Structure 1
């Protein structure tokens, strides 16, 4: 089996005369956690939306498991095993935590849109939903409405519902955005636990999270790949320090 699960070839996206992503080549290794980072305006969000098919590239190609998905829609690639999260927690606030996960599990029954069927049939999914909640540390919150969860727990619930779709490739958009230190630690540990058997691509601003989780980091600047590699290598790259951290090459020399 090819060890590359997702590949972008010369990916470019223009918005009028503005080039947001410019000729990016990207290879995501199967079973890895791959982080995409960069300063504001680097093209991270555009790149993420291209990979998850929420926008279409101006040119270039995207392959998932060697299949061209460049012109497919988000629902189509979700059925293939590519599932994303969003920066804003996307759960049903007035359903219970258990009900949120159970809705995601309906996809496996092939009844996702059969709202006229008896609710009782969904209780067959309760044990499976509880297993997912145990996995993400939310079993004690099963009967609580999602709106009542603390913010960090809502993010954990979103990851649980994403896992309910049984993704082969999970893409996380700023999973720790807006969190306090404790919640960041909780969600970071959670991502580390659920990585088994799947590949994760994440856009993340918190370098501590990236350093802890990522096997490979791609740094974008002005829509192009500035550097790529493990954190130990990327974090010492002079161009990265200047573009991402605002430290010039001269300043770096002065601190040595």
Structure 2
């Protein structure tokens, strides 16, 4: 039987009487790639914000490794091993690729707030930083300014900084958004590589990406779960086809 790493029970969020997310019962299996999809406005990003506590739920529970984390702060959630990337690439553009990853690793030295320490103190992190860059295919770009990276490689760098936090569960929010075909393929391959030994929950609009790497798919519509299953089950479900056809003017799954 598959072990559940993340579970929500009746999770909901209302804003001034409007229900953005309603009664979401989500179960993510350890070691899987789980995709959260749905038409625009379906509540996908709101769900992510609830899971990482950027928003407080109006109702329901969030369980991580069987522990109720519903009322914990974002920093507590991150320390437990739930680490999130965002739709917009969040790297430091005027630092090198290596320096970006070292910042994410800095907590290992417990010097985050020692502002009087020399930057040379971070050199101890170079080895691990280079290992992470190798994992995401950026080792040869270690001394390049992040601002000079192509968009797809910036997303790869962001994944490297996410990995530096040693996540048990990675939440990837639209990891291929705004990318050309080559970058989409590169990042898709990267997600598959870093998923080994980890669990990934991703919001993704590109159905080709979802079909190629997701073990399980949850479809949201109007803030509630519409259907759940593997890609074959979901793509052939009339309710899903209707939801996408109605919202995207004929886009196919």
Structures share a fold, TM > 0.5? yes
Map of 1:254 onto structure 2:
none
Q: CA deviation at 1:196?
A: 1.2
Q: CA deviation at 1:216?
A: 0.5
Matches within 5 A, 1:181-220: 181-220=181-220
Query: What secondary structure does 1:60 align onto?
Result: strand
Q: CA deviation at 1:86?
A: 0.4
For residues 3-39 of structure 1, the C-alpha deviation after alignment (integer angstroms, 9 at most, x for no partner) is: 1101100001001121010111000100101000000
Matched, 1:78 2:81: no
Q: CA deviation at 1:245?
A: 3.3
Matches within 5 A, 1:211-250: 211-246=211-246
For residues 124-159 of structure 1, the C-alpha deviation after alignment (integer angstroms, 9 at most, x for no partner) is: 111111111111110111111101111000000000
**2:245 & 2:163 partners in 1: Cα distance?**
34
**1:116 & 1:90 partners in 2: Cα distance?**
26
Q: CA deviation at 1:184?
A: 0.3
Gap change, CA 1:110 and 1:177, over 3 Å in 2? same
Matched, 1:149 2:149: yes
Give structure 2 stretches of 5+ with no counterpart: none
**Cα contact 1:11–1:22 (8 A) shared by 2:** yes
CA RMSD of aligned residues (A): 1.4
Gap change, CA 1:2 and 1:107, over 3 Å in 2? farther
**1:25 & 1:107 partners in 2: Cα distance?**
34
**2:20 & 2:208 partners in 1: Cα distance?**
26
Q: CA deviation at 1:174?
A: 0.3
Matches within 5 A, 1:49-60: 49-60=49-60
**2:150 & 2:158 partners in 1: Cα distance?**
13
TM-score normalised to structure 1 length: 0.94
**1:2 & 1:34 partners in 2: Cα distance?**
13
Q: CA deviation at 1:50?
A: 0.6
For residues 107-139 of structure 1, the C-alpha deviation after alignment (integer angstroms, 9 at most, x for no partner) is: 222222222212122111111111111111101
**Cα contact 1:2–1:65 (8 A) shared by 2:** no
Give structure 1 stretches of 5+ with no counterpart: 252-256
Map of 2:87 onto structure 1:
87
Query: What secondary structure does 1:196 align onto?
Result: coil
